[in-house]
Structure 1
Amino acid sequence: MQSTEPLEQPTLIGKYRWTICMLLFFATTINYLDRQVLSLLKPALELEFGWSNTDYANIASVFQFTYAVSMLFAGRIIDRLGTKSGYSWAIIIWSLAAMVHALAIPIGQSLVSLMAWVGIGAVSVSVAGFMFSRALLGLGEAGNFPAAIKATAEYFPKKERSLTTGIFNSGTTVGAILAPLTVPWIAVKWGWEAAFLGIGALGFIWLFFWLYAYEKPEKQKRLSAAERKYINEGQSVQATELKHSSIPWFKLLGYRQTWAFAFGKFMTDGVWWFFLFWLPAYLNDQYQMTGTAIMLPLAILYSMTMFGSIGGGWFPMYFIKRGFEPYDGRMKAMLLIAIIPLVVLAAQPLGQVSYWMPVLLIGIGASAHQAWSANIFTTVSDMFPAKAVGSVVGIGGMAGGLGGVLVTKLGGAIFDHYKSLGNIETGYTIMFAICSIAYLVAWTVMKWLVPRYKPVTDL
């Protein structure tokens, strides 16, 4: 006899947390749009102002150095201000800074005059102006990832964080795709100043939606009770523990987990920045491609990285579903990901066939970086309570920024050296080799520092 009892209906959890994820995605997209404008205009600005590769490396490394130092403080400031206010101030500062690039020449003239007045040896007007603008941009952009990771820790259970991080981190890819499709066209039609002004203004549009939509989960009226419960039950700490607690940096540096994250960022962040800042120059130096000619190759290359970002966020789930702790599953996935960039070693030899060969191979390597990035960020929320996440991400971000400075300065010096010898191809071969092996070195040291899952419980 068939039962007449009503079937139990599954509880609808709700999906508002994914609205927050989309906001993080769009902020990260804008972040990378603003960051990439200069690299796409490098060939034109280099011609207009007579820059060497070392000049460009100095401009780019000022951004990276300021970004690195600011990352250390950004995490702490966001922990103190809270995610909503901290993210708001970050995007206001970096959007204004992106627009300030349009005034680089008058700013540079003022700086050179000031330096001459105090008796300091001055750089050229254009270099001084762009260095100032990049420093200001680095100051603001440093807030993006600490704020996004903190928002992820607040709104998502641990089992969903790598996927969430992969989704919002794919904004770096979308920004990198949109930039070559828009920046050269804007510059050709209205001038390079308009490119900085137009792209920089996008942040203020995002700010309106962020202020409207974001509140802490315990105060968020748009969350259903079921979704709030789902979030809280899947947290490593209760919502009440998400309040700021002043944790000294030196105390955080006493944990091997902090050093593992910081070393992984130091070794690998510079690789992505090298691909971001130098690929337009590479296509120009080796294949004489400029302006709108680089739009399609770069758009395809960066489109490939989106698969890495989202796929990398999903990959650890394969191991986690088989009983591994989240950290252990992530490390297994990261080892396999670390092997993939070795394909970049073939970029230069096969580049003699067609420029599409290095574009596709570098695209694979950059895609692996995005997969790596989605996972290395999530190791922090795996092992640290949410109240420390922003600060630890800031420490790692500083390490990554310093690694980026090293790679950028090294690249500029190597390219100028081999360009003077009439063999700049060798310079790119050396840099591609460094980028290829960085992930295996990073993974080995991270595994040595934290061989097994060990959450920090005494903060």
Structure 2
Amino acid sequence: MHQTAVKPAGKYRWTICALLFVATTINYLDRQVLSLLQPYLEEQFKWTNTDYANITAVFQFAYALSMLFAGRIVDWLDTKWGYGWAIILWSLAAMVHALSIQIGEGVTALLGWAGISLFSVSVTGFIVSRTLLAFGEAGNFPAAIKAIAEYFPKKERSFATGIFNSGANIGAVLAPLTIPWIYANWGWESAFIIVGGCGFLWLIFWLIFYEKPERQKRLSLAELEYINSDREIQLDQVQPAAAERKITWMRLLGYKQTWAFIFGKMLTDGIFWFFLFWLPAYLKAQYNIVGEGVMIPLATVYSLSMIGSITGGWLPMHFIKKGYNVFEGRVKAMFIIALFPLAILAAQPLGDISYWIPILLIGIGAAAHQAWSANIFTTVSDMFPKRAIGSVVGMGGMAGGLGGVFVSKISGALFDHYKELGHIETGYTIVFTVSAMAYLIAWSLIKLLVPKYKPVVLD
């Protein structure tokens, strides 16, 4: 049974949301530095599309595996230090990219003694650096989603998630506005060092301002009551001993709700990874736009994404106010959102008119992805108790990362194949078609697995 809703008093929960927003901005800023430097590094180190695909695919694979354990670690350490250690690790790893060539020389020499030769020195070095970055960055979303579940009532969670998740787009906007300039003035190594250092500034504010709501001295009693106003009574409130029992992955995999989240992430995460990692390469291959010329097109795409993230987070609230329960309102919103990526189907056919047409259509697709993301993340806190949220988000994140590996590897192979044939645009047409259809397929699977709202009771 739901408790009676009370009028919100206080806004401290939005301070926490702002901290999550900034952390997610830094997270995506760190991971996009490489994609913006790719045209320069490609020329300097003689990379092929397959070389670059290998670097991005290893990052995504390491991110996927790390997501699985990151969720468990966040549940174990709890939100404050789970997030704190995550940003320490990924900020250090971002800065380590500046030493990728030295790392590559050392690893290549070590493998050479064992008679193993896999990649060039530069590719090897960046693979090692990206693996370290993936390990740290995997903690961002499990920790952030858990923080939202702690600080917001269910009816506000998708909106709050949409706001903090829009940080991904701010990071993606800031990157093309800053990285080419830093490269031009100080070199590619400086871009990694400067951006990587931002995480340590955030950490200071996080440690000062974050505590669990029950221990948060800056949170009024009235706001705490509002935060808890529409939550169902959790088992760990009435059976504390049950809350201490370990929740295994195998047990969580026994619920259709877990698989709905896993499939929803696996089929759609790779699409946004593609936009993030391959758009600069697309602009170069199709329109010979490089350097500072990519700044405005990419900023446009990710500005649209930011609007999509916030709007998508708000949309379920519209249906909830009309009388839908939280989950039904969210699923209805997700269906509407899943229709928008179909616009990407027109990107290649209309691209000959102006490169701005595919940019705007891809921007619509990216906006839809972020709207989708704001809602699919929130389905976990809709259906699972707080003590399982990090683990379930981690499992879905792993699935999404593996989907990203598949998209990246297939994309690189397609682009190299059709480039040799003199028709690289065909490769992009294939990938854009898959991107357009993925969300409707994912929505159908979610609806099939969880046709009606059914919260998980673990004990």
Distance 1:230 1:115 in 2: 58
Identity %: 67
Which residue identity is paired with 2:217?
A: K
**Which position in structure 1 is the counterpart of 2:213?**
217
In the other structure, the counterpart of 1:94 is 90
CA distance in 2, matches of 1:232, 1:307: 29
Could you say which residue in structure 2 is the equivalent of 1:372?
Answer: 372
Shift in Å, 1:233: 2.4
1:160 maps to 2:156: yes
Contact 1:232 1:238 (8 Å CA) reproduced? no
**Is the 1:79–1:244 Cα contact (8 Å) retained in structure 2?**
no
> Equivalent residue for 2:419?
419
After superposition, where does 1:24-173 map in structure 2 within 5 Å? Answer: 24-173=20-169
Is the Cα–Cα contact under 8 Å of residues 237 and 385 in structure 1 kept in the other structure?
A: no
Q: 1:108 to 1:443 in 2, by over 3 A?
A: same
Deviation at 1:12, TM superposition (A): 6.3
SS in structure 2 of the partner of residue 350 of structure 1: coil
Aligned in 2, Cα 1:50/1:455: closer, same or farther, shift over 3 Å? same
Q: Superposed, which structure 2 residues align to 1:23-422 within 5 Å?
A: 23-237=19-233, 241=237, 245-422=245-422
CA deviations 1:36-82 (Å, max 9, x no partner) are: 00000000000000000000000001110000000000000000001
Match of 1:52, as an amino acid? T
Deviation at 1:238, TM superposition (A): 5.2
SS of corresponding position for 2:10: coil
Contact in 2 for aligned 1:218/1:239 (Cα 8 Å): no
Residues 24 and 168 in structure 1, CA contact (< 8 A), matched pair in contact too: yes
Partner of 1:454, secondary structure, is: coil
Rounded Cα–Cα distance in structure 2 between residues aligned with 1:303 and 1:227: 32
Shift of 1:121: 2.0
**Which sits farther off after the overlay, 117-126 or 91-100?**
117-126
Contact (CA 8 Å) 1:162, 1:375: kept in 2 or not?
yes
Q: 1:436 to 1:113 in 2, by over 3 A?
A: same
SS in 1 for 2:323: coil
- What is the alpha-carbon distance in structure 1 between the residues aligned to residue 458 and residue 118 of structure 2? 50
Give the Cα–Cα distance (whole angstroms) in 2 for the partners of residues 338 and 136 of structure 1.
Answer: 33
Name the SS of the counterpart of 1:349 in structure 2. Answer: coil
Q: SS of the counterpart of 2:254?
A: coil
Q: Deviations over 1:176-223 (max 9, x none)?
A: 000000001100110000000000000000000000000001110000
Alpha carbons of 1:269 and 1:11: their partners in 2 closer, same or farther (altered >3 Å)?
A: closer
* Aligned residues of 2:340 and 2:365 also touching (Cα < 8 A): yes
SS at match of 1:348: coil
Contact 1:32 1:176 in 2 (8 A): yes
Aligned partners of 1:14 and 1:223 also within 8 Å: yes
Distance of 2:114 and 2:257 partners within structure 1: 45
TM-score (norm 2): 0.96
Work out whether residues 8 and 226 of structure 2, in 8 Å CA contact, stay in contact via their aligned partners in 1: no
CA distance in 2, matches of 1:246, 1:144: 23
Flag as ranges the 4+ runs of structure 1 deviating above 6 A. Answer: none
Deviation of 1:240 (Å)? 6.1
Contact 1:108–1:125 under 8 Å retained in 2: yes
Q: Which residue of 2 aligns with 1:4?
A: none
**Is the Cα–Cα contact under 8 Å of residues 75 and 147 in structure 1 kept in the other structure?**
yes
Q: Which amino acid aligns with 1:179?
A: A
CA contact (8 A) 2:266 2:402 kept: yes
> Distance in 1 between the 2:7 and 2:418 partners?
64
Contact 2:7 2:226 in 1 (8 A): no
Counterpart-to-counterpart distance in 1, 2:233 and 2:100: 46
| Structure 2, unpaired ranges of 5+ | 1-5
Structure 1 pair 239/81, CA: closer, same or farther in 2 (3 Å)?
A: farther
CA distance in 1: counterparts of 2:58 and 2:166, whole angstroms: 25
Structure 2 contact 17–164 (Cα < 8 Å) conserved = yes
Provide the rounded CA distance (Å) in 2 between the counterparts of 1:202 and 1:311: 28
Report how far residue 246 of structure 1 moved: 2.1
CA distance in 1, matches of 2:116, 2:251: 39
Inter-partner Cα distance in structure 2 for 1:321 and 1:244: 36
Tell me the distance in 2 between the aligned counterparts of 1:392 and 1:323.
Answer: 28
Q: Please report how far the alpha carbon of residue 457 of structure 1 lies from its aligned counterpart in structure 2 after TM superposition.
A: 1.7
Equivalence for 2:3: none
Q: What is the alpha-carbon distance in structure 2 between the residues aligned to residue 333 and residue 439 of structure 1?
A: 12
C-alpha spacing 1:185/1:458, structure 2 compared with 1 (3 Å): same
Q: CA deviation at 1:123?
A: 1.1
In structure 2, give the amino acid aligned to 1:445: L
Q: CA deviation at 1:245?
A: 4.9
**CA offset at residue 321 of structure 1?**
1.2
Q: How far, CA to CA, are the matches of 1:140 and 1:164 in structure 2? A: 23
Q: Structure 1 residue 419: deviation in Å?
A: 0.5
**CA distance in 2: counterparts of 1:205 and 1:33, whole angstroms:** 14
CA distance in structure 1 between the aligned counterparts of 2:8 and 2:142, rounded to whole angstroms: 31
Please give the alpha-carbon distance, in whole angstroms, between the structure 2 residues aligned to 1:364 and 1:41. 25
